[in-house]
Amino acid sequence: MVHAPARPPAGAPPVRINLYSDTQTRPSPGMKDAILRAEVGDEQHGDDPTVNALTDRMAALLGKEAAIFLPSGTMCNVIAILTHCRKGDEVVAHETSHILHSEGGTHAALTGVQIMPLRGPKGMFTADDVRAAIRPKTRYAPPQRLLEVEQTANIGGGAVWPLAQLNAVADVAHGQGWSTHMDGARLMNACVAAGIPAAEMAAGFDSVWLDFTKGLGAPLGAVLAGSEDFIGEAWRWKQRLGGSMRQAGVCAAACLYALDHNIDRLADDHANAKALARGLAQIPGFVVEEPETNLVFFDPRGAGITVADLSAALRLQGIQISGLGGRMRACTHLDVSAAMIEEAIAAIRDVVAKR
Ligand SMILES: *Cc1c(COP(=O)(O)O)cnc(C)c1O
């Protein structure tokens, strides 16, 4: 049985305030205009000028030699792992990582690597944790090949890895001859929050990618960057997996628009997340994690309401928030205004008061 996403309950109104995910944004009028005006060509022949402009710009932004345009962030992780590793290799990553939990078991199904899960607060681990995970280089142990981090750490609460900690874990990995990979689905949120350029954040990592369908507000697309050799090999996997496209400039145009218009404004999403966290923290019994970027995790159970009941009651008012285990995750993005945050806080307070 393959599960489809849950449908809204019968009688639920359309979603007015969508805190479910930053993947839910719709292309803005300006972005649609850029899509309409895109110059296009055959992407898999290297002939799409808009895709080429995007990959050149992304290689520079991420401080790498080359970059490749892919349909999704998941494909960036899959292709990066296929390129860095061989079957039977081990990838060292946090126990909450997207590659472990949210890619449909692809690393068992397709890449053939095993993932060693590391513990640590907020989706992060330390250089000592990596040192403790080093296996002897014998024929009994799986060959360790890659260290992976998420910046920001999603299930870690949208937390931002400090630059020094990123560099420290990457140094340990490189000291062992491993490669390093950064899942930068929300890298620009980290860069805006910390005031650190993306190239600096990614300097210790052999490969890094950025998602355009999260806070940047494009309908699809992600860009993976690395050395010329790495990207050359990534192209082979893109072709093999059916990720080579044709007139993909219509999509790349939206991404270029996002780079021009939707990065600095991530600070607004972070301010909205903080306002939401402050409002929720005033509801007696709620446990709210302090947001660093655009994700607000909270546990309503201390107020005597389950995650499922609160989600369902809010959905009937056109407010969507996701539940992840015992926590709820509210995500701010460019289709969520400060006024909507106030409205959501009032609605949640009301549901709790009336339960
Ligand atoms: C969303 C996400 C991905 C996958 O990106 P898609 O574009 O949805 O395939 C990977 N890693 C993290 C941390 C994410 O949040």
Atom of ligand 1 nearest to the CA of 153: 13
* Nearest C-alpha neighbor of 326 from the set 185, 186, 155: 155
Output the pLDDT for position 275: 98
CA atoms of 151 and 153, how far apart (whole Å): 5
**CATH 3.90.1150.10 domain residues, the chain:** 17-26+265-353
Cβ-based burial of 54 (10 A; exposed 0-12, middle 13-18, buried ≥19): buried
Tens digit of pLDDT at every position of the chain (355 positions) = 455 566 777 788 999 999 999 999 999 999 999 999 999 999 999 999 999 999 999 999 999 999 999 999 999 999 999 999 999 999 999 999 999 999 999 999 999 999 999 999 999 999 999 999 999 999 999 999 999 999 999 999 999 999 999 999 999 999 999 999 999 999 999 999 999 999 999 999 999 999 999 999 999 999 999 999 999 999 999 999 999 999 999 999 999 999 999 999 999 999 999 999 999 999 999 999 999 999 999 999 999 999 999 999 999 999 999 888 789 999 999 999 999 999 999 999 999 999 8
User: What is the model's pTM?
Assistant: 0.97
Residue 105 Rama label (left phi>0; alpha psi -120 to 50; beta): left
Q: 140 C-alpha vs ligand 1 centroid, how far in Å?
A: 33
Looking at domain 17-26+265-353, its CATH superfamily turns out to be Aspartate Aminotransferase, domain 1 (3.90.1150.10)
pLDDT tens column, 101-151: 999 999 999 999 999 999 999 999 999 999 999 999 999 999 999 999 999
Instruction: Compute, in angstroms, the gap from residue 302 CA to the centroid of ligand 1.
Output: 30
Cα 303 to ligand 1 centroid, rounded to whole Å = 31
At a CB cut-off of 8 Å and minimum separation 6, what does 87 contact? 111, 112, 113
CATH 3.40.640.10 maps onto the chain at: 38-261
Q: What is the pLDDT of residue 2?
A: 55
Residues with CB under 6 A from ligand 1: 72-74, 77, 98, 150, 154, 183, 185, 211, 213, 222
209 alpha carbon – ligand 1 mean position (Å): 10
Distances (CA, A) of 338 to 145, 161, 193: 45, 27, 18
In 109-134, which positions are buried (b, 16+ CB within 10 angstroms) versus exposed (e)?
ebbebebbebebebbbbebebbeebe
98 CA to centre of ligand 1 in angstroms: 7
Identity of the residue numbered 313: A
Residue to substitute in 214, 251, 294 for testing ligand 1 pocket (most ligand atoms within 8 angstroms of CB): 214
Which pLDDT score, from 0 to 100, does residue 23 have?
94
* Cβ contacts of 54 within 8 Å, gap of 6 or more: 67, 69, 223, 252, 255, 256
Q: Is 3.40.640.10 the CATH number for 38-261?
A: yes
